[in-house]
Amino acid sequence: MGNQCIICREETDNFSDEHVIPDALGGYYHIYTVCKSCNSDLGSSVDAKLVNHRFADFQRYLLGLTGKSKKLPNPFSGTHHIAQDTNKKIQLRLDEEGKPAPYTITNVSYEESENEGGGTRVSICLDASDEKKLDGILDKISKKLQVPIEQFEGIDRSVQTIEKPNIKCSFSIDLAEFKIGLLKIAYEFSVDTVDGYFTDPSAIEVSKILKAADYDSVEKFVSIGTGFDHKLFDGMRDYLDVESKKHYLIIAGSQTHGLVCLIHLHGMFSVGVCLSKLPYPDNLAVIGVNDIHGKTFRKVYPEQLLQEIYAPPELRFQYYFPTENSLRGFLSLQTAENFDFCRTATSYPVFDRAGNYLDLDLYETMKASEHLVTSESLEDGGIAHTFPIQSELFIKIMPSENLVQVIAVREELRQVSKL
């Protein structure tokens, strides 16, 4: 990439701190390969579509994410109605504690009396908190009707309280344009993570779409799911803590399907982005974990994933006893308090029938029968693989140093955490 901005693809020294996931959504993934001018354009025409989306407003409100403005968004903004009195237009404003409180929008209506010489009937409806504005409103009405206030007749100031108002809200929800914000996240994550993606013809096309904020071309790439379908992540619930306050970005390569990025923004959006149809290595997989609470972002690779979510493997053996006596002998040894197998820090030394030490690694021996492995899920999370042992080998029981023949090894991987 050299000194090329990954969005406009021009040479520059003027790079800036780009949030791959907008900071208003609790994003902590920074890259420094976007020029200042593109960064600012992305903020206003790409990120804004995500950040100001109604779903994002609700989530930011619930998570207390204020973003740059240091102000909580009001997800209830707009003009609503009270079901008990459909003529009443109200807003839901956030009070000091951030709770939504109904606010009646001031409304003045005029009705000409049909009686002879009847005059005009004026109704003023305003929020109780606006009572002090009433005199000003009366003043304006007086000027409009060209009648001095002193000549107003029968002024009735009544206060109406609606207990437990049933508020009918109507919202508009963007179903398309916000996807450009997800395309940007997928693109920047891939360019930053996958060698060679930047020069992929699809990557060049995506950078043009982002640069031009070309909303109409986004769906060609953001083509998996509606954007709101969290089922996309059901298959990964064992590994990802989708209930926690985390965003996940997953990139996966395939020789046949190209490059795909799955995005799960906590409580907001889940989507799949097809970044390229060219072949990418099948073993290419990276998970980006953005922890809103911990204020961190990190990339996790498959080897790390296994180490993090599973405890060190535990081995259990299946034995072969040629006679009933040998079985009984083993069982009585096994009940001894100091029963153990001869073992090293990481494995078990193996022996032949005569007790000669064999220079064989138990794991290597297990791997030799990988094609015969049977696997099952463990009840409380994790997986067990059973490897049949095809050669004749023995392990040593301590402290008696008796030998016992092993015919299969069960490797249990207990899951201890999620990403």
Where does this chain bind Zn ion (CB under 5 A)?
A: 5, 7-8, 35, 38
* Nearest Cα residue to 364 out of 401, 409, 312, 403: 409
Tell me whether residue 35 or residue 350 sits nearer to Zn ion (CB atom).
35
Looking at the Cβ atoms of 5 and 186, the one nearer to Zn ion is 5
How many CB atoms are closer than 10 A to CB 27?
A: 21
Residue whose CB is less far from Zn ion, 22 or 382: 22
- Beta partners for 90? 80, 104
Query: Please, what is the minimum distance in Å from the beta carbon of residue 38 to Zn ion?
Result: 3
Cα–Cα distance for residue pair 362/347, rounded to 1 Å = 7
Amino acid occupying residue 10: E
The nearest distance, CB 364 to Zn ion, in angstroms, is 52
- Collapsed DSSP state (helix, strand, coil) of residue 16: strand
Q: How far is the CB of 203 from Zn ion (least distance, A)?
A: 14
Q: What is the number of other CB atoms lying within 10 angstroms of the CB of residue 22?
A: 23
Return the DSSP state at 163.
Answer: S
Is the Cβ–Cβ distance between 206 and 239 less than 8 Å?
no
As measured in angstroms, the least distance from the Cβ of 5 to Zn ion is 3
> Is the Cβ of residue 37 or residue 193 nearer to Zn ion in the bound state?
37
Put residue 227 in one of left, alpha, beta given phi > 0 → left and psi -120 to 50 → alpha: left
Q: Which long-range contacts (CB under 8 A, 24 or more apart) does 364-371 make?
A: 365/389, 365/391, 365/393, 366/409, 366/411
| Shortest Cβ 283–Zn ion spacing (Å) | 32
Nearer to Zn ion by C-beta: 18 or 291? 18
Q: Which is nearer to Zn ion, 7 or 403 (CB)?
A: 7
Q: Considering the complex, what minimum distance in angstroms separates the CB of residue 6 from Zn ion?
A: 8
